[in-house]
Structure 1
Amino acid sequence: MNFISEALESQSENTRTKKDQQSLETKFQLYTDKTEEGCQILFNQLETLDKCSFNASLPLVMIVHGWSESIQFSRSNVHLIGYSLGAHVSGFAGSYISGTTKIGRITGLDPAGPLFEGMSPTDRLSPDDANFVDAIHTFTKQHMGLSVGIKQPVAHFDFYPNGGTFQPGCHIMHVYNHIAQYGITGITQTVKCAHERSVHLFIDSLLHNDKQSTAYWCNDINTFDKGMCLSCRKNRCNTLGYNIREERLPKSRRLFLKTRARMPFKVYHYQFKIHFINEIQGKQIEPTFSISLTGTKEDAKNLPITVLEGINGNKTYSFLITLDTDIGELIMIKFKWEGTAVWENIWDTVQTIIPWRKGTRRPGLIVKTIRVKAGETQQKMTFCSQSIENVHLYPAQEKTFVRCEDRFRRQEK
């Protein structure tokens, strides 16, 4: 495979749009799997192609750097990879190629936001610039109305890891870790950490073929955080990075996923739907739970779950849980109400308001079933309380749930 790195040395005001790009000074460096150092290709000097051992029969990948940093050839084999400003430069290049055949693919790695957010498709990276366009958005957090990375969709598939606004491990609190690793330049590393995460995510897709990250089509990150978008039906999910399934769509599709703070970035997504019955009539409670999972390969213990909207009445709540490791097929769940002395006092207060007779059961939460969907395998499972006679849950209590037949789903059918 041929890799060409294109470094922009200068930029004029007119490079903001696709209409005027006459003042660029560009260098092309050719890299192949047989050479460790790049070989410079000079513009309009075709003999340098032979000098650099350019192989026109191989696919061509062009990497275009951001702010800092003519061939007898099949256009469909060309893949432009642009980071930051380079993402839009790649779009400009794709749109200016004349003829009926477009270049094969453009990948935008956190395309730049300033001067491009809200612009028309002709003045930024857009799906029309290649046969297939994908983009990874990692730093769209706005400050004073601007964000480093563009927030709006610009591709056929737009990926928003962790919502796209910010990335795990990039918070200012990690500046000391970065200084320890990089020295004083660690401060700069912290600032650009989330922006560059798009690059590392793409590299990760090349280095870890066995850990490809799956992303899911969803309207927004809040809905995704409830685990309600883990469907792969009708092409609703796709693979982030180099191995994406290329599919042209009439409208940009926004996909979301969670990641780890470092390579390999892949996590495993699960939706947990838990049906609660609050026996304390008219009183909403806001407990915190933890969940422990037993799989055929590994276990995952003490994963926190918080019900943000509180529990009231008879209702099913949906949660997103992510795991760093593949635990295999889920076979058992332990569900615990993380009770404290404060909760016990609340329960004592409730007893004075809603007294129950001595020897009778006090009111609590009823948890009958837990339904689980694994995003990566698309497997659906139902878990029932191990003790059929005792389905009530109180503060500081833990209940065990095992695989069972989904009686409710059977009744629906």
Structure 2
Amino acid sequence: MKSTVWLSLLTLLWSASANPLVGLIDPACKVVRGECPHENVSFWLYSNSTRNNPILLDPLDLNPWDFQPPRPLKILIHGYTGYRDFAPNSFIRPVLLDNEDVYVISIDYGPLVRYPCYIQAVQNLPLVSQCLAQLINNLVDRAIVPNDQIHLIGFSLGGQVAGQTANYLKRKLKRITGLDPAKPLFILGPDSRRLDAGDAEFVDVIHSDVFGRGVLRAAGHVDFYPNFGAQQPGCMEENMQDPGSCNHERAPRFYAESINSTVGFWGRYCSGWLVHLLGLCPTTGAQAQMGYHVSQELRGSYFLKTGSSPPFALGKLEDVDNSQTLAKFHLNLDNNEIDDDYEPQLLEAFLELDAVKVIVKMDEDDLDRQLDWVDREEEEPLSRNIIK
């Protein structure tokens, strides 16, 4: 097992310049400690009247008049390499302000999640989450914003920030939305480290890059899988060199469009992603709307299709009776060898954070002493072996 982990890590570091572990060897990548408020975590308040001149909030000295008249509050949380004008903010904030009578807070913790420091970015999330929780607790304690009027919307790493923030809140929020929550280093950890259905009264999740940056397994009360969450239509043409980045970013784009779509993103219930993959989901029956206007009574997983360019929403799915086909098959999930929490990955070395922490403590000489060349057949590729 240790050999597999080390070999995967080495392969990744030597061959993939854009992988999540490249920051391990960059001296500029640091884990930041400190107290909240923190200089690297800022909060910007937007409304229709301040959309071009947002207010920088002081979590310890909040002005109630900044939140008058009373309106619901949406908090947008960016991800890796982001900032307050990066996704999801760039897609969602203007549509919210144009179509909804709300306040929007865009958090900015860009200095803590810079490229190529993904490992350190993940380790910096608890600090970000504590600072966001401090702001929310103070807003609620001072009766500036009611707790049930606060809605967190997090993209990628921001989705995991939203989940971790729940650890530090005095009261459970009414709603959290996860937009393709980040996968690398969040697969094997406890629920306290990642977004899950226990983090708010209602958690809805959109999965758009399940084989790459985003998680596949269900993470909310209701989970939507547009185009199965694998390859999003139009992404190969839009970004041929990195279609996965396009897939990932589709989640906030779909969500932004859902705010004022005239047709909506409609999905159909299926018992799970494996059943859907095998084509054993019913293709008739009730449908549910994905996105901003989702029903908070929904539970389970829903699958839908989208267009390849804006507007992406295609409206309700066509009913096609496949009951006779389904009657011929029975999938016995009790004997299913694929666990519910199975997570396929493009890169094997998306290690768990605890394993990475051990590796970070080792210098290059220590690593080299633990490696030796192994004998190989003439036609086999070169490989390395770990000395136990």
TM-score interval, smaller chain: 0.5 to 0.7
RMSD: 3.1
Q: 2-side partners of 1:220 and 1:242: how far apart?
A: 23
The reply to whether residue 59 of structure 1 matches residue 72 of structure 2 is: yes
Instruction: Report the counterpart of residue 318 of structure 2 in structure 1.
Output: 270
Instruction: Report the counterpart of residue 7 of structure 1 in structure 2.
Output: none
Other structure's SS at 2:250 match: helix
Instruction: Report the counterpart of residue 139 of structure 1 in structure 2.
Output: 209
Q: 2-side partners of 1:136 and 1:274: how far apart?
A: 26
Amino acid at match of 1:216: R
Q: 2-side partners of 1:22 and 1:31: how far apart?
A: 20
**CA deviation map 1:181-211 (0-9, x unaligned):** xxxxxx56x4511100000000010131x21
Matched residue count: 237
Q: Which runs of 5+ in 2 are unaligned?
A: 1-28, 83-137, 328-388
Other structure's SS at 1:131 match: strand
Task: Give the structure with higher Rg (CA).
Answer: 1
Other structure's SS at 1:270 match: coil
Q: Which has the higher contact order (CA 8 A, sep 6+)?
A: 2
The reply to whether residue 245 of structure 1 matches residue 295 of structure 2 is: yes
Q: CA deviation at 1:24?
A: 8.0
Quick one: structure 1 residues 118 and 23, their matched pair in 2 at CA, closer, same or farther if it must change by over 3 Å?
farther
**CA deviation map 1:1-36 (0-9, x unaligned):** xxxxxxxxx983889xxxx99978311011112222
Quick one: structure 1 residues 45 and 274, their matched pair in 2 at CA, closer, same or farther if it must change by over 3 Å?
closer
Q: CA deviation at 1:153?
A: 1.1
Other structure's SS at 2:259 match: helix
Amino acid at match of 1:65: H
**CA deviation map 1:296-337 (0-9, x unaligned):** xxxxxxxxxxxxxxxxxxx8699xxxxxxxxxxxxxxxxxxx
Alignment of 1:214-253 (within 5 A): 214-218=266-270, 219-220=272-273, 223=276, 226=279, 228-233=281-286, 237-247=287-297, 249=299, 253=300
Answer whether contact 1:126 1:154 (CA < 8 A) is retained.
yes
**CA deviation map 1:263-317 (0-9, x unaligned):** 2222242244589xxxxxxxxxxxxxxxxxxxxxxxxxxxxxxxxxxxxxxx869
Q: 2-side partners of 1:220 and 1:120: how far apart?
A: 22
Task: Pick from 121, 124, 136 the counterpart of residue 194 of structure 2.
Answer: 124
Amino acid at match of 1:31: Y
Q: CA deviation at 1:61?
A: 0.4
Task: Pick from 46, 71, 79 the counterpart of residue 62 of structure 2.
Answer: 46
Answer whether contact 1:117 1:151 (CA < 8 A) is retained.
no
Instruction: Report the counterpart of residue 74 of structure 1 in structure 2.
Output: 146
Answer whether contact 1:161 1:259 (CA < 8 A) is retained.
yes
Alignment of 1:215-364 (within 5 A): 215-218=267-270, 219-220=272-273, 223=276, 226=279, 228-233=281-286, 237-247=287-297, 249=299, 253-267=300-314, 268-273=316-321
Q: CA deviation at 1:120?
A: 2.3
Instruction: Report the counterpart of residue 389 of structure 1 in structure 2.
Output: none
Q: 2-side partners of 1:68 and 1:75: how far apart?
A: 30
Answer whether contact 2:154 2:178 (CA < 8 A) is retained.
yes
Instruction: Report the counterpart of residue 169 of structure 1 in structure 2.
Output: 234
Instruction: Report the counterpart of residue 170 of structure 2 in structure 1.
Output: 98
Q: Which runs of 5+ in 1 are unaligned?
A: 1-9, 142-146, 177-186, 276-314, 319-413
* Runs of 4+ in structure 1 over 6 Å off: 20-24
Task: Pick from 16, 24, 32 the counterpart of residue 47 of structure 2.
Answer: 32
Quick one: structure 1 residues 192 and 127, their matched pair in 2 at CA, closer, same or farther if it must change by over 3 Å?
same
Quick one: structure 1 residues 22 and 59, their matched pair in 2 at CA, closer, same or farther if it must change by over 3 Å?
closer
Which structure has the highest helix share of the two? 2
Quick one: structure 1 residues 317 and 106, their matched pair in 2 at CA, closer, same or farther if it must change by over 3 Å?
closer
Q: CA deviation at 1:83?
A: 0.4
Answer whether contact 1:107 1:135 (CA < 8 A) is retained.
yes
Answer whether contact 1:221 1:256 (CA < 8 A) is retained.
no
Q: 2-side partners of 1:30 and 1:115: how far apart?
A: 31
Which structure has the highest strand share of the two? 1
Other structure's SS at 1:63 match: strand
